[in-house]
Every structure is written in C-alpha cells, then in structure tokens.
Amino acid sequence: MQILRRNLTAYGFLCAALACFTVFAWYPMVREFILSFQKTDLINEPIWVGLDNFVTAFQDPAFGEAWLNTLEFTFLALLCGYAVPFVVALVLNELRHARAYLRFVVYLPVMLPPIVAVLLFRWFYDPGPGLFNQVLDAFGLPPLAWLDSSSTALISLVIVSTWMNMGSATLIYLAALQNIPPELYEAAELDGAGIWKRIRHVTIPQTRLILLLMLMLQIVATMQVFIEPYMLTGGGPENATVTVAYLMFQNAFTLQDYGSAGALGMMLMIVLLVFAAFQLRLTREDKA
C-alpha cells in the first residue's frame, strides 16, 4: 500500500499514457481488425462476411498497382531518405563552424506542417510558373512534367517525402555519431586509417543499432505513404501514384467500403509486422 502511495504520481502519468494509447492506437487497431471481417455502413448492424473483404480488396483492379507503387516508393524513399540523412549527419558531425545553425536549417522542414510542405511542393512542381522548371530553364534544360507524367510522378513524391522527413533522421544519426568515443577515431588515425576507413570500421559498426532501428522505422513509415499522393496527385496519372494507404482511404471514404479498406489495412500491417520481427531478430543477434 505504501509503495502504491509513493508511486501515485507515476501511476497517474502511466494512466494518462495508457488512456491515450488505448483510445488513439489500440482501440482503432482492434476495430480495424473487426471491420476487415464485416460488411458495415457504420449505421446499421454490421454483418460478418468472413474473408469476403479480403477477396474484394484482392480483386480490385488497382490492388496490384498499389502494392507495386508502395514497394517502389519504399525502395526509392529508402535509397534517398536513408542514405542522404546519414551522409548529412556525417558532414554536420565533422563541421567545426556553424554546426548549430546548419542543424537548425536541416531540421526546419520537419517543423512545417506536412500539409504546408506538400502545398509548397505543389507550386515547386507546377509545370508553368513552378520553381523547379524555372531552375531547369535557367540552365537551358527542357521542363519536366514532374507530377503530371506517370514516369516522373512517383519519384517526385519521393523527393517531397525525403525533404519533409530528412531533418528528424539527420538529428537522430547525429546524436548517435556524437556518442561514439573519440578515442576510437584517434586510435584509427594512429593506425593510419583515412576518412573512409574510419567510417567503415568505426562509425558504421558503432551506429549499427541505430541504423537498423532507423531502417525499420523508415520502412514502416514509407510503406504507409498517404499524404503526398492524396494532396499532390490523387493517385494519378494513370494510377502511377496509387499506394496501399491511398487505396485504403479511397475504399473507406470515397466508396464507403470500410470492410475492404480494413482488409487492406490488415494486409499492410502483416507485411510491416514481418519487417518489425526481422528487425527485432537482428537487434537481438547484435546484442548477443
């Protein structure tokens, strides 16, 4: 009883956190799981339909395109969004001057509400007065269709996503880099290691855990890409930017088919759970 009283404040905070998770995370997850096996309009009594919603989602003509686009987006976003922040963090870590200022500049896009950032890029990508085509024009290069061509639309979304999210990843990498004991670098330098060998034999092994964690987090985040196609392309042109999360949204809120949207959500969750399990296993092996 005394222990309980002593920790009352802690329990209070714990309850608040648990309430938030329950209301905003766990309950919606359970609800979605149930929805994926029901036919419902959210008004009348739902009907249990077994796996029908999964069959409906699978038979959707855009199903295959959505998964391929999501995988392509994830691959490209990782290529840019995983490597670029790490390199930026390495450079920032090496800087002796203006480090705080540059760190702020790199983090600035994260402080913009995503919707503002996306609208900013809508203007950048405008085929007429847009910034990017004006820059290309200044260099005597032909304009690009950016969002208006099925061959460039997806990579255009990757650029937006990378720009919006790079700041957070860079700061996390920077924190990890600053935790590496300087003696290791000094020892490597004494052994005659150059910058590449120091990165390969000191930096990467020392940040392996955080790199793995970020890999998993970025896969989970990028596979759920929604706001970019929703705001910039509406899934087009020619379904070139339809992603699984966008398709879920379409099914649920345009077609009012909450069941197949829930089924798609469950499929996406299972795929992401596989990545999470893989990451956990790697982390354990690393600790062992």
Q: Applying CB under 8 A, which residues contact another protein?
A: 5, 8-13, 15-16, 19, 41-44, 56, 59-62, 126-129, 145, 147-150, 233-239, 250, 253-256, 258
Report the residue number, 16 or 68, with the smaller CB distance to another protein: 16
Closest distance to another protein from the beta carbon of 257 (Å):
9
Rounded to an integer, what distance in angstroms lies between the CA atom of residue 215 and that of residue 286?
15
Q: How far is the CB of 277 from another protein (least distance, A)?
A: 33
Closest to another protein by CB, 165 vs 250, is: 250
Ramachandran class of 130: left when φ > 0, alpha when ψ lies in -120 to 50, beta otherwise? beta
| Residue 122 or 208 with smaller CB distance to another protein | 122
How many other β-carbons are positioned within 10 Å of the β-carbon of residue 210? 16
Cβ at position 216, least distance to another protein in Å? 31
Distance CA(55)–CA(217), nearest Å, equals: 29
Q: Compare residues 179 and 256 and give the one whose CB is closer to another protein.
A: 256
Name which of 63 and 82 has its Cβ closer to another protein.
63
How far apart are CB 165 and another protein at their closest, in Å? 24
Which CB, 60 or 189, lies closer to another protein? 60
Q: How far is the CB of 63 from another protein (least distance, A)?
A: 11
**Main-chain phi, psi angles of 141, to 5 degrees:** -95, 150
**C-beta of residue 169 within 8 angstroms of C-beta of residue 85:** yes
Give the shortest CB-70-to-another protein separation in angstroms. 18
